[in-house]
């Protein structure tokens, strides 16, 4: 049994994993348990103020703990950097396009947006990078699933919105993308574009069963990215980006920490052995601290 959120994207992801398992194990019947999480129910506030990305996984973990489900499928970027005790990420699948993108009925590029244009985003990370490069646009919060966000744009609530391209592409909405934002312009969130499968830490049998679904290069990248955020106590309250690319036996990892207003953005890059992704992530976090990330962290946490 696969536990998943009930949004159209989450259902797509769960069915994708179910179909992959059916191809691997034709005699095994895999069913899907749709669930509504607190993060889905409460749409009138920011994730940062409500408790962060864990709002999207706690109910699914409860289903794993009480035996209603065997595995849970998540967008890797929604998985808290510190998993709850008793759970593990058993498999990280090959990544879809990790980049952010611009969706707008009128403007083909961010540079075309006039002063005062209203741009919607759900992410402090995106907001900080937008404010850094485009200080004269107006940024407003945008919550809800992908269909809801696009509908708000089409209704005229926004001139443009910035989303992860992976979700649009998976739902057949790739034609709505007006421009891809390269990592130099909008560094992605840790794990963006990848799917992660979670199970009980005691179910080594499931971990072995799920292993063939994993992609080694993507897993190394995601683990390095998550290590950056974990080392910096990353959460929705911290505008933080981390993005790794596997180049042969090497990982190239970029990271940033910013103030929410984009007035200060600290960037760093590190390279290391693809077999030691967590160590690379921790090294990059230290490089960000050396450039002043601690001051931003202290201000955010009231230190």
Which of 78, 97, 100, 159 is catalytic? The answer is: 78
Do 143 and 161 touch, CB atoms closer than 8 A? no
| CA dihedral sign, ordered 152, 155, 159, 165 | positive
Segments of 144-239 assigned E as strands: 160-164, 177-181, 195-200
* Cα–Cα nearest to 122, from 102, 142, 99: 142
- Residue 242 exposure: Cα atoms within 13 Å on the Cβ side: 36
CB atoms within 10 A of CB 163: 25
In the numeric block, the tokens 């897993």 are attached to 219
**Tokens of residue 299, six digits:** 């201000």
Rounded distance between C-alpha atoms, residue 191 and residue 83, angstroms: 14
Do 119 and 168 touch, CB atoms closer than 8 A? no
* Cα–Cα nearest to 119, from 301, 262, 299: 262
Do 238 and 124 touch, CB atoms closer than 8 A? yes
* Cα–Cα nearest to 160, from 109, 99, 97, 100: 109
Decide if 44 is catalytic. no
Rounded distance between C-alpha atoms, residue 269 and residue 288, angstroms: 9
- Residue 156 exposure: Cα atoms within 13 Å on the Cβ side: 0
Residues with active-site annotation: 78
């Amino acid at each position: 049994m696969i536990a998943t959120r009930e949004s159209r994207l989450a259902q797509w992801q769960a069915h994708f994993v179910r179909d992959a398992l059916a191809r691997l194990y034709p005699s095994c019947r895999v069913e899907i348990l749709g669930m509504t999480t607190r993060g889905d129910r409460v749409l009138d506030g920011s994730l940062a103020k409500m408790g962060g990305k864990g709002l999207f996984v706690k109910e699914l973990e409860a289903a794993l703990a009480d035996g209603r489900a065997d595995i849970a499928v998540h967008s890797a970027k929604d998985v808290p950097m510190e998993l709850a005790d008793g759970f593990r990420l058993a498999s990280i699948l090959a990544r879809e396009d990790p980049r952010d993108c611009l969706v707008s009925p009128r403007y083909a590029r961010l540079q075309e947006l006039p002063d005062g244009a209203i741009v919607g985003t759900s992410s402090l990370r995106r907001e900080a990078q937008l404010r850094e490069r485009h200080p004269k646009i107006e940024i407003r919060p945008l919550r809800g699933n992908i269909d809801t966000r696009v509908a708000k744009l089409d209704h005229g609530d926004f001139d443009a919105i910035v989303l992860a391209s992976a979700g649009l592409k998976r739902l057949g909405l790739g034609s709505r993308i007006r421009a891809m934002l390269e990592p130099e312009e909008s560094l992605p969130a840790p794990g963006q574009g990848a799917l992660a499968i979670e199970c009980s830490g005691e179910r080594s049998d499931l971990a072995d069963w799920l292993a063939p679904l994993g992609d080694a290069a993507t897993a190394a990248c995601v683990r390095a990215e998550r290590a950056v955020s974990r080392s910096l106590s990353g959460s929705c309250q911290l505008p933080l980006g981390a993005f790794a690319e596997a180049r042969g036996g090497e990982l190239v990892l970029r990271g940033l920490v910013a103030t929410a207003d984009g007035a200060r953005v600290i960037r760093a890059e590190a390279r290391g052995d693809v077999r030691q992704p967590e160590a690379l992530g921790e090294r990059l976090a230290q490089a960000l601290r050396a450039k002043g990330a601690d001051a931003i962290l202290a201000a955010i946490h009231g230190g």
